[in-house]
């Protein structure tokens, strides 16, 4: 019980979330896969789309059809950098996340060139209530999902770091994105990405069962103004937990499963 209480306190300090929100992370049993997406609706999830207030699912961007959590843009005239994120209600610290996804269709008109067949899962993220209305991305560790263009190699389960840094090879790693060692996945095939998250210790990315990337000590980047504010508020740059969200970056994507397993610290 003492160890669990310490885990809750540590996650509270490093995520800026309320006591009630952190306590909500504890009901699931460790060692068992639990669905975060129920296959029926968006229960437990809240959208935050750039330029819109929290909870406004502009253009029905995030929807559930045929048992799939879909990201769609058929109600957009153009994308216009309206990046979106769908936040799960509960923050976590030590866990495995398993996501099955596929890219479908064509990119929304007006989407950035780099956003073609591009999405991701944002982990150790900030409370969306702390985001500004026009903020592009939550401060977080991004597990980037990329699809091939049919010809060139393009890895998936990469690392991107909006407002954050990590440690690699015993050194602070500050580039915004770095590629994994995964294969390229063209077309609309399903891909399974699993991430093992150990609080402030380590992240490990797996694609279809293969380890493709590993790094350590996720932390806020004081060079980023908003991240520095979060670090000052919590009294440390180190991240030991936070929110989970799925991205909307202008290319349609389906999520078939979003599952989580609590790990003992």
Over residues 203-215, the mean pLDDT reads: 98
Rounded CA separation 150/185 (Å): 9
- Residue 10, pLDDT > 60, answer no
- pLDDT, tens digit, for every residue of 111-157? 999 999 999 999 999 999 999 999 999 999 999 999 999 999 999 99
> What's the token pair of residue 223?
């060079």
Domain that holds residue 78: 2-262
- Mean pLDDT score of the chain, rounded to an integer? 92
Which of 6-10, 89-93, 215-219 is the least confident region? 6-10
Q: 79: domain CATH number? A: 2.60.120.560
Give the pLDDT band (50/70/90) at residue 221. very high
Distance linking the first and last C-alpha atoms of the chain: 12
pTM for the whole thing? 0.89
- pLDDT, tens digit, for every residue of 150-182? 999 999 999 999 999 999 999 999 999 999 999
The tally of domains found in the chain comes to 1
Which of 1-10, 61-70, 93-102 is the least confident region? 1-10
- pLDDT, tens digit, for every residue of 23-61? 444 445 678 999 999 999 999 999 999 999 999 999 999
Q: What is the pLDDT of residue 24?
A: 44
Reduced to 3 DSSP states, what percent helix, strand and coil does the chain have, rounded to the nearest 5?
A: 15, 40, 45
Q: What is the pLDDT of residue 30?
A: 73
- Residue 9, pLDDT > 50, answer no
For residues 145 and 101, is the Cβ–Cβ distance under 8 A?
Answer: yes
Over residues 223-249, the mean pLDDT reads: 97
Over residues 80-100, the mean pLDDT reads: 98
53 vs 21, higher pLDDT: 53
Q: What is the pLDDT of residue 21?
A: 46
- Residue 17, pLDDT > 60, answer no
Q: Percent of the chain scored above 70 by pLDDT?
A: 89
Q: What is the pLDDT of residue 13?
A: 47
Q: What is the pLDDT of residue 31?
A: 85
> What's the token pair of residue 91?
């923050």
Strands 158-160, 177-178: pairing is: antiparallel
Report which secondary-structure segment, H or E, holds 217: strand 210-220
Q: Percent of the chain scored above 90 by pLDDT?
A: 87
- Give, in degrees to the nearest 5, the angle at Cα 146 between 192 and 59: 95
């Amino acid at each position: 019980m003492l160890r669990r209480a310490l885990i809750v306190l540590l996650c509270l300090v490093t995520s800026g979330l309320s006591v009630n929100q952190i306590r909500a992370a504890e009901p699931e049993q460790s060692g068992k896969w639990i669905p975060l997406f129920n296959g029926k609706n968006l229960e437990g999830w809240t959208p935050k789309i750039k330029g819109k207030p929290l909870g406004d699912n502009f253009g029905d961007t995030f929807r559930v059809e045929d048992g799939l959590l879909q990201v769609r843009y058929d109600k957009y005239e153009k994308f216009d950098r309206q990046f979106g994120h769908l936040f799960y209600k509960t923050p976590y610290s030590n866990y495995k996340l398993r996501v099955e996804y596929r890219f479908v269709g064509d990119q929304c008109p007006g989407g950035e060139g780099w956003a073609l067949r591009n999405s991701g899962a944002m982990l150790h993220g900030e409370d969306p209530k702390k985001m500004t209305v026009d903020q592009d991305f939550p401060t977080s560790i991004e597990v980037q999902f990329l699809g091939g263009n049919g010809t060139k190699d393009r890895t998936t389960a990469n690392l991107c770091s909006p407002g954050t840094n990590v440690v690699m090879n015993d050194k602070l790693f500050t580039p915004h994105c770095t590629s994994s060692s995964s294969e390229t996945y063209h077309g609309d095939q399903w891909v399974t990405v699993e991430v093992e998250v150990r609080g402030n210790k380590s992240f490990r990315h797996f694609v279809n069962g293969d380890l493709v990337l590993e790094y350590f000590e996720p932390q806020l980047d004081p060079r980023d103004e908003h991240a520095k504010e979060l670090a000052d508020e919590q009294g440390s740059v180190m991240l030991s937990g936070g929110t989970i969200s799925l991205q909307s970056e202008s290319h349609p994507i389906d999520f078939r499963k979003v599952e989580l397993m609590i790990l003992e610290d």
